[in-house]
Structure 1
């Protein structure tokens, strides 16, 4: 089964995304505190991380760079998501696989995850 880690400090979004992806056949783990992301990546071993750009004291783009820079995690697909559409310009510079603007509909969420998910 395909594993997705969702990192967002908004608990409502975590619940909604977990429900939508689970209903579409994904195993989903959620993290509301970015500080837990590394440990969760190593224990859960996701194929894709759906990562909010604005995480309070952290920038999801920096976390994405860290994921992509490590030989252990560089093959994990990263989809950034944000309410700030301007953040889409950052996808290439932090090596994210895709960007999903908030708000999003659930069909677009699932399609974005499916398209970015490694085989």
Structure 2
């Protein structure tokens, strides 16, 4: 059975690129570009991992990440946050994500991070 990854970003190009990369690696991918669709998508799709941008159209990905981690039903789902913030600032971001990656991200590094999170 394929691992399922939910990708959340309001940038359609980022969604398309991540879908291609993740599909090529054999993952089942669902993309969401509207913040109001995040929690219904989690409930229906039941992802094994979430990749989410920090700066979304109507929300802060860090706050949404922490909400996901506070719920008994979803706290087990590993989350990778993406950000265009400078690398020196990334280490100062406080939230419950398992990983935070800067944009532009290295796809090999992202795939390795995904594999490690799914295998743990």
TM-score, normalised relative to structure 1 = 0.92
Q: Contact 1:2–1:26 (CA<8 Å) still a contact in 2?
A: yes
Q: Structure 1 residues 88, 15: CA separation in 2 closer, same or farther (over 3 Å shift)?
A: farther
Give the deviation of 1:118 after TM superposition. 4.8
1:95-115 residue CA offsets vs partner (Å, 9 max, x unmatched): 111111100122122112112
Cα distance, 1:82–1:64 mapped onto 2, change above 3 Å: same
Stretches of structure 2 lacking an aligned partner (at least 5 in a row): none
Question: Higher strand share goes to which structure?
Answer: 1
1:62 has 2:83 as partner: no
1:41-52 equivalence runs, <5 A: 41-52=42-53
Query: Displacement, 1:42?
Result: 0.4
Structure 1 segments of 4+ aligned residues over 4 angstroms from their partners: none
Distance in structure 1 (CA, Å) of the matches to 2:49 and 2:100: 13
Equivalent residues, number = 117
Please tell me whether residue 73 in structure 1 is matched to residue 40 in structure 2.
Answer: no
**Aligned partners of 1:5, 1:118: CA distance in 2, in Å?**
17
Contact 2:34 2:57 in 1 (8 A): no
Which residue number in structure 2 is paired with residue 105 of structure 1?
106
Question: How many Å apart are 1:6 and its aligned residue?
Answer: 0.3
